[in-house]
Amino acid sequence: MLNKFEFFLSTNTIVSKSIHPHYEKALNEMLKAGGKRFRPMLLLNVVKAYSPLLVKNAMSVAYAIELLHTYSLIHDDLPSMDNADLRRSMPTLHKTYDEVTAILVGDALNTYAFEVLSETSFSDSTKIKLIKSLSKNGGLNGMVLGQAIDCHFENTPLSVDDVKTLHKNKTAKLIASSLEMGAIISNEIDLSKKLYKFGLDLGLLFQIQDDILDVTQSSELAGKTTNNDGDKNSFINIIGLDDTIKEANELSEKIELEFNSFDQRLKDTLSPLITKYINRHKD
């Protein structure tokens, strides 16, 4: 599935005819630099479980999620936010070009995600549901809210519960949306609610693991700038490494129990992905 998605990405180069010397190159550079592709894989595997004939059409929806996610990474790395030098094992766009290019490429990928969704082959009612899910969870009451809280409270320690709220918005909601959107495509509406709730836990674990890897991996191994959260409300800064690992272990056990409550079709398709990522902090 991942290879098929990477092939889809390679054949869908973003084209913008302009006189700009590097705008078009920058639009594609970070998007095609690799990455875990965790969010699109969640969506595609849900579709594979319930509507395998729709997987091909769902590629463009998975692409829209990756477009939005990539924009968020580009903006997250900006000097005014995390000021990171490396992302997906490449120099960040503001380092390769300049800050203006990085801001505008992020803006372009954000809006292009919804153009791509609007042009998918699904019914208008399905497209509206997909657009609503992605915009709601990636926007003002989701990922952007999480980023706002994260940046505002630098150097101001929050409670553990507030840190969880921060990261549920910043990271977990887009992961939850990816699962929800897979169920929407498959017309599994009741399941979409259960998958969304599961995705919030999965996304929070994903962030806790990132906090652990930020202090235990080198930038070269992680493919992005690490040890860069000294002023942030990371779990490590609030409760320390040992308790953060304990938090991750407890949450991964909860997620395994939740996952085992799903039907066999879903478990068969999602199991390799879920198993890989709920255990990555243990490597």
234-280 pLDDT per residue, tens: 999 999 999 999 999 999 999 999 999 999 999 999 999 999 999 88
What residue type is assigned to position 186 of the chain? Answer: S
CA atoms within 13 A on the CB side of 63: 27
User: Mean pLDDT in the chain?
Assistant: 95
- Asked if residue 228 has pLDDT above 70, the reply is no
* pTM metric for this prediction: 0.95
pLDDT of residue 222: 67
SS3 labels along 88-107? CCEECHHHHCCHHHHHHHHH
Tens-place pLDDT, residues 15-73? 888 999 999 999 999 999 989 999 999 999 999 999 999 999 999 999 999 999 999 99
**Cα separation, 82 vs 146, whole angstroms:** 14
- Asked if residue 218 has pLDDT above 90, the reply is no
For the ranges 7-11, 108-112, 227-231, the lowest mean pLDDT is seen at: 227-231
Domain boundaries, given as residue ranges, for the chain: 2-282
CATH 1.10.600.10, applies to 2-282: yes
- Is the Cα dihedral 151, 278, 221, 214 positive or negative? positive
Q: Are 215 and 226 in contact (CB under 8 A)?
A: yes
Residue 86: enclosing H or E segment and its boundaries?
A: strand 86-87
| 3-class secondary structure, 231 | coil
- Asked if residue 150 has pLDDT above 90, the reply is yes
